[in-house]
Amino acid sequence: MQHLYEAIFYDPKVNLLFRDEAIIQYMLQFESALAQAQAICGVIPGEAAQVISECCQVANINKEQLIADAALGGNVNIPLVKQLTSVVNQKDAAAAKYVHYGATSQDVIDSAVMLQLKDAIDLIAKGLDVLIEQLTLLVETHRNTVMIGRSFMQQARPITFGFKVAHWLDGILRSKEKVDDLLKENFVLQLGGAVGTFHGMMGRGLMVAEKMSGLLGLKMLSIPWHTQRDCLAAIATTLGILNGSLGKIAKDISLLMQTEIAEVFEPSGKGKGGSSTMPHKRNPVGCIAILANVQRVPSLVATMLGTMVQDHERGTGTWHAEWETISAIVQLTAGSLRKATEVTNGLEVDKEQMLRNIEITKGLIFAENISLALAEKIGKQEAHELIEKCCQEVQRSGMHLKNIVLENTVMRQYLTSSEIEGLFDPVRSIGLCEEWIKRVLNI
């Protein structure tokens, strides 16, 4: 997917795995392993397997002709086998008849996709390790950085920025566990022939499959999975959830970058985040890319779930719909992850602005503190009504709630000046932020 937008939305390292040449090589890797396994199991001569393996090189394949011929057979493997057979025939005519012996196109394409996705998910797992390390550092650095917590986009109660980032980290940690589970169990070999019965391998198909499993590093299921697509669906849904967690980070950061809030900023750099017309702007370009990707992924995941309902022993159209869909999900996810690691590496946090924003409501966010303290002395209902009148006075007069409370004779009967000052201290209003942070960090 080399085009103008690759640097914006994607990870070039992962995209390399989805280039035409890479796809062809993964299929040739299958054909080579098939021949080797069949030779080990006595299905084909060892000399033939050696020749076939030596010929399984991308350089031997005419990509343009492959693309032109793919439409005739409905998939790229049919013309690939034709070309590979021709190459082998030029070297050893006797070996040519054993190319793709006993396999079907779906065996090749499914297994090649699994090899491809395994390599891509491994890169994503490594990227998650980096992101987790960076988020952990942010949590530790800002565990005592007080800011306002927001509910329905409105100021609610003080929290810490470390607490907010701990929420991000917690979701990413769960996704990392799921991605690791995929790498352990979910990448599986497809081999079974036309309808999954191994007809044509001299009764040794299961033995061949077991050997291929070891050669390719793909696990075996209990039975060929031509029309059982749960493994691919699991990859799609796992990455879909990961995208949502990455999108949450991007959404929060982009909102915190708003001019009226200005508490957090993406790392700065020459020419980064600028506007073509407004020199003063600092746009959340990394977050924008993540959010754009996140918008696209759910419908792609839905497509993968829809393709699970396949007919009989080979799917008609449903299988074919997966090829580009799962590739897009993986590439978009890798791109989102890459941008997330860039955004969180050197994230700028304005602690002073966070404290200034806490005062925007002139102390109204601390009204609950006063009400709870009074309730212990005069009862919940009376305390609520009293502080409600004080809040209305703030809105009428523009005075700070603390000053109104300090001047209220009724309240002063129950609360000392020192107690009132403490109730307006944001550091004393963050609840269990530190305890929750410790749980996320597992300390």
pLDDT digits (tens, 9 = 90+) for 73-102: 899 999 999 999 999 999 999 999 999 999
- Structural domain includes residue 412: yes
Q: Rounded to an integer, what distance in angstroms lies between the CA atom of residue 108 and that of residue 34?
A: 9
Q: What is the pLDDT of residue 88?
A: 98
275 is catalytic: yes
Q: Rounded to an integer, what distance in angstroms lies between the CA atom of residue 59 and that of residue 251?
A: 45
Coil, helix or strand at residue 148: strand
- 242 and 320 co-located in one domain: yes
C-beta of residue 162 within 8 angstroms of C-beta of residue 443: no
H or E stretch including 159?
Answer: strand 154-160
The pLDDT-based confidence of 202 (bands split at 50, 70, 90) is: confident
Q: Summarize the confidence of residues 388-395 as an average pLDDT.
A: 94
Half-sphere exposure of 427 (CA within 13 A, CB side): 5
- 62 and 128 co-located in one domain: no
- Which one of the listed residues 204, 282, 296, 314 is annotated catalytic? 314
Q: What is the DSSP string of 48-60?
A: HHHHHHHH--GGG
- 282 and 304 co-located in one domain: yes
Summarised one tens digit per residue, pLDDT across range 305-321 is 999 999 999 999 999 99
Structure tokens at 248: 């949450």
Q: What share of the chain is helix, strand, coil (3-state, %, to 5)?
A: 65, 5, 30
111 is catalytic: no
- Which one of the listed residues 19, 174, 268, 275 is annotated catalytic? 275
Supply the CATH number for residue 408's domain.
1.10.40.30
- 142 and 239 co-located in one domain: yes
Give me the residue label for tokens 């978009």. Answer: 332
Nearest to 208 by CA among 230, 229, 227, 224: 224
User: What's the pTM value of the predicted model, to 2 decimals?
Assistant: 0.93
- Structural domain includes residue 14: no
Percent of the chain with pLDDT over 70: 97
- 125 and 145 co-located in one domain: yes
Nearest to 86 by CA among 103, 106, 62: 62
Summarised one tens digit per residue, pLDDT across range 224-273 is 999 999 999 999 999 999 999 999 999 999 999 999 999 999 998 655 55
Summarised one tens digit per residue, pLDDT across range 10-42 is 999 999 999 999 999 999 999 999 999 999 999
Q: Rounded to an integer, what distance in angstroms lies between the CA atom of residue 376 and that of residue 436?
A: 27
Q: Rounded to an integer, what distance in angstroms lies between the CA atom of residue 51 and that of residue 415?
A: 91
Can you list the alpha helix ranges (DSSP code H) found in 147-283?
161-185, 205-216, 230-256
- 207 and 310 co-located in one domain: no
Q: Which domain holds residue 269?
A: 107-188+225-358
Q: What is the pLDDT of residue 272?
A: 55
Q: Rounded to an integer, what distance in angstroms lies between the CA atom of residue 163 and that of residue 353?
A: 17
Q: Rounded to an integer, what distance in angstroms lies between the CA atom of residue 132 and that of residue 21?
A: 33
- 331 and 386 co-located in one domain: no
Report the number of distinct structural domains present in the chain.
Answer: 3
State the chain's mean pLDDT as an integer.
94
CA 320, 323, 326 angle in degrees (round to 5)?
130
